[in-house]
């Protein structure tokens, strides 16, 4: 690993990341802009095990240059060594690959940096801020934390998208993407304080574009005063 993958690959090699090759077994267009691929894992799940919100780095060629993007495993099955990946289709080499992918195609992947720790104490309420790119991770988080009530700010529309949100337990706010994410930041800053003040042990989970994630993570920790152990903030993609 690292050869042909630039400095990112070299760093991951030093961190003892593990490499695998996935093989596409099927594809489904969930919506015109959201595509699900089924894959075999090349031995991944047997080697690493499975945890909620588990993600992998896929490697693509961007005009001859290495490019990696992270994707959350959907419905991983260690017994069969299979899982799905879901792609929010935009411009770019990762989306181009997903659009054209068919049974028999392969993609190289690296596993390093993923992990999940149950919040302690257990959350009395989840505050989740995400978008179509992090929807698979949102679904995984909601599935793992069972009956915990949640308030979700979702940048975009989930019309036709797979979602495990339960209207009896989860309040779901759809927020249009405007001003490069600034509108989402404004909505969350206006509404999150009331949500947090009404619960004893909140947990805030943020996964949007890098700039939005940094802004909201800083806001929650510095202005609202939540300790780092009660905040998860991970940028899922970079806006142009």
Within-domain flag for 240? no
Based on the fold, state whether residues 12 and 81 are members of the same structural domain.
yes
Based on the fold, state whether residues 48 and 141 are members of the same structural domain.
no
pTM given for the model: 0.89
Based on the fold, state whether residues 129 and 225 are members of the same structural domain.
yes
Please give the Cα distance from 228 to 119 (Å, whole number). 11
Residue 174 scores a pLDDT above 90: yes
Based on the fold, state whether residues 134 and 96 are members of the same structural domain.
no
**What confidence score (pLDDT) does residue 1 get?**
38
Based on the fold, state whether residues 164 and 85 are members of the same structural domain.
no
Of 80, 111, 142, the last residue of a domain is 111
Query: Would you place residue 6 in the very low, low, confident or very high pLDDT band (cuts 50, 70, 90)?
Result: low
154 beta partners: 130, 174
C-alpha separations of 176 from 13, 80, 180 in Å: 39, 39, 10
Q: What percent of the chain stands above pLDDT 70?
A: 92
Among residues 186, 183, 173, 189, which one has the least CA distance to residue 224? 189
- Residue-wise pLDDT for 127-166, tens only, equals 999 999 999 999 999 999 978 999 999 999 999 999 999 9
**What confidence score (pLDDT) does residue 128 get?**
98
**What confidence score (pLDDT) does residue 239 get?**
72
Q: What is the CATH number of the domain that holds 189?
A: 3.40.50.80
- Residue-wise pLDDT for 17-67, tens only, equals 789 999 999 999 999 999 999 999 999 999 999 999 999 999 999 988 988
- Name the least confident of 7-16, 35-44, 120-129, 198-207: 7-16
Of 56, 88, 111, the last residue of a domain is 111
Residue 2, classed as helix, strand or coil, is coil
What mean pLDDT do residues 175-184 have?
A: 95
Within-domain flag for 59? yes
Cis amide prior to 121 (ω within 30 degrees): yes
Please give the Cα distance from 85 to 81 (Å, whole number). 14
CA 235, 26, 158: angle at the middle one, nearest 5? 45
**What confidence score (pLDDT) does residue 11 get?**
41
Among residues 49, 40, 41, 135, which one has the least CA distance to residue 86? 135
**Which runs of E-coded beta strand occur in 99-228?**
106-111, 125-131, 150-155, 170-175, 202-207
Q: What is the CATH number of the domain that holds 19?
A: 2.40.30.10
**What confidence score (pLDDT) does residue 5 get?**
56
Based on the fold, state whether residues 14 and 107 are members of the same structural domain.
yes
Query: Would you place residue 236 in the very low, low, confident or very high pLDDT band (cuts 50, 70, 90)?
Result: confident
Domain of residue 43: give its range: 6-111
Total of domains in the chain:
2
- Residue-wise pLDDT for 88-138, tens only, equals 998 899 999 999 999 999 999 999 767 888 999 999 999 999 999 999 999
Based on the fold, state whether residues 11 and 106 are members of the same structural domain.
yes
Within-domain flag for 180? yes
Based on the fold, state whether residues 12 and 98 are members of the same structural domain.
yes
Of 111, 137, 159, the last residue of a domain is 111
Instruction: Record the tokens describing residue 89, joined without a space.
Output: 């289709």
**Which runs of E-coded beta strand occur in 118-163?**
125-131, 150-155
What mean pLDDT do residues 177-196 have?
A: 96
Within-domain flag for 80? yes
DSSP class of residue 219 equals I
Within-domain flag for 120? no
Q: 66 with 8: CB under 8 angstroms?
A: yes
Residue 3 scores a pLDDT above 70: no
């Amino acid at each position: 690993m690292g050869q042909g993958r630039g400095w990112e690959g070299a760093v991951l090699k030093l961190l003892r990341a593990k490499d695998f090759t996935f093989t596409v077994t099927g594809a489904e267009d969930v919506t015109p802009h959201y595509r699900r691929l089924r894959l075999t894992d090349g031995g991944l799940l047997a080697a690493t095990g499975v945890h909620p919100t588990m993600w992998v780095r896929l490697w693509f060629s961007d005009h001859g240059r290495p490019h990696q993007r992270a994707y959350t495993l959907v419905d991983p099955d260690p017994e069969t060594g299979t899982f799905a990946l879901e792609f929010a289709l935009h411009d770019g080499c990762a989306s181009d690959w997903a659009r054209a992918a068919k049974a028999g195609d392969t993609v190289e992947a690296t596993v390093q940096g993923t992990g999940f720790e149950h919040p302690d104490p257990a959350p009395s309420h989840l505050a989740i801020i995400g978008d179509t790119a992090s929807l698979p991770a949102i679904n995984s988080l909601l599935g793992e934390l069972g009956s915990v009530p949640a308030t979700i700010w979702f940048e975009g529309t989930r019309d036709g998208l797979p979602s495990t949100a339960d209207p009896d337990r989860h309040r779901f706010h759809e927020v249009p993407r405007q001003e490069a994410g600034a509108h989402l930041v404004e909505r969350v800053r206006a509404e999150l304080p009331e949500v947090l003040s009404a619960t004893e042990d909140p947990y805030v989970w943020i996964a949007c574009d890098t700039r939005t994630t940094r802004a909201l993570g800083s806001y929650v920790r510095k202005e609202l005063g939540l300790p780092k152990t009660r905040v998860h903030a991970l940028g899922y993609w970079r806006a142009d």
